[in-house]
Amino acid sequence: MIPAQRKKFNQQLTAEKYKSFLDQLQDGYPEIPFRVAETPVFIPKALKEKLIAAGEEIIKLIKQPNFKDLTTDAIPTDWNVPNEGGQPHFLTFDFGICKNDAGELTPMLIEMQGFPSLYGFQPHLGKTFASHFDIDPSLNYFLNGFNEEQYIQLLKEVIIGKHQPHEVALMDLDAPNQKTAIDFFVTQKLLGIKILALEDIKKIGRQLFYEENGKQIQLKRIYNRLIFDEVANDTAIFKTSFDPREELDIEWVTHPNWFYRISKYTMPFLDSEFVPETRFLNQIDSIPPDLENYVLKPLFSFAGMGVIIDVTEQDINAIQDPENWILQQKVNYEPAVQSPTGGVKAEIRMMYLWPDGGEPQLCTNLARLSRGKMIGVRYNANFDWVGGTVAFMEE
């Protein structure tokens, strides 16, 4: 998107150099099971400013005094966890890169989450790109004036808080074998916290413990990476571990309820040039005649599961729970990243940290490249110049 930087990078890139970059990225870690793209994305200042402005509009909504009232119904009754905090600790906003009516590149909101993503891996990825390729130092994968040292310090403040690293654990279902496990290992290296599978944690009274060298160590804070959808059909696992829905003496980073509050559910409440028209399906008076310009999404799903891209009236009429679906105007991605074999579509995730007692701070980003119908691994199999990456933005 910055022509001079794109040309410069493409001239450097060879199959051998890409392989060497991947080897360096994985050095000391298990093999990365998802595809890392051949290139970063180069974001011009004008587009960066739009991305920042779009994020600020969303945060303004989240900070409204009535936000919790607006999103009460976002939390499934069966998954409402007690002792919810007053704020999320993580905000991630995904924007497709499009063209507006004036022919300018502009972001359009695709997804939003009050849930952590690759906060350890993304700076590691950016640093590896910068060390392996000749990237102009006036471009940065950090934002808002952050550098690596300041970012790690804020990450510690948010995740560890007032506790010791051994009292804090990153938790997921079968954590070491998750697809994003490299992020877990990078985070552990940065912060010194434990990585625990759900079944590694045991409940005694209201307290949670894990075992190390034959000793029971109390957990004070959980860096939660577990999405309840993954255990919804097999809650028996809680019987040998703990049930998050019980009253517990534990701090959540971030509290599980925020996964639902800040999600597709929030999008109908936003009115912005950077947000496609989005309505709850049960609040639509009539089906739009131009359904080819809309996409149908379930509220309670992740990783693009259940999305209907080519919507028909039959699809809409077949929905049994329209209150749990949104109808959203399609976003037309602009193939703005020039590969050696043509344009590639891009999505940028703006990543914020929100410390206790502080304000949300934009720190870094994630980017994804796509040639398929949707962004995501299952839609981009067997393509090159697709996958996860990071954006370097003009200062």
The pLDDT-based confidence of 376 (bands split at 50, 70, 90) is low
Query: Whole-structure pTM over 0.85, yes or no?
Result: yes
pLDDT above 90 for 282: yes
Tracing tokens 């022919």 back to the chain, one arrives at 103
Backbone conformation region of residue 337, classed left if phi is above 0, alpha if psi is from -120 to 50, else beta: beta
The Cα–Cα gap between 132 and 235 comes to 45
pLDDT above 80 for 257: yes
The Cα–Cα gap between 140 and 389 comes to 13
- For residues 295 and 309, the answer to whether their CB atoms sit within 8 Å is yes
Summarised one tens digit per residue, pLDDT across range 308-360 is 989 999 999 999 999 989 999 999 999 999 999 999 999 999 999 999 999 99
The pLDDT-based confidence of 131 (bands split at 50, 70, 90) is very high
- For residues 89 and 355, the answer to whether their CB atoms sit within 8 Å is yes
pLDDT score at 275: 97
The Cα–Cα gap between 41 and 333 comes to 15
pLDDT score at 372: 74
Cβ count near 209 (within 10 Å): 16
Q: What share of the chain is helix, strand, coil (3-state, %, to 5)?
A: 35, 25, 40
Summarised one tens digit per residue, pLDDT across range 35-79 is 999 999 999 999 999 999 999 999 999 999 999 999 999 998 889
CA angle, 357 then 359 then 360, to 5°: 130
pLDDT above 70 for 377: no
Tracing tokens 């350890």 back to the chain, one arrives at 120
Give the amino acid at 293: N
Give the amino acid at 307: V
CA dihedral 47, 48, 54, 58 (to 10 degrees): 160
pLDDT score at 380: 63
pLDDT above 60 for 178: yes
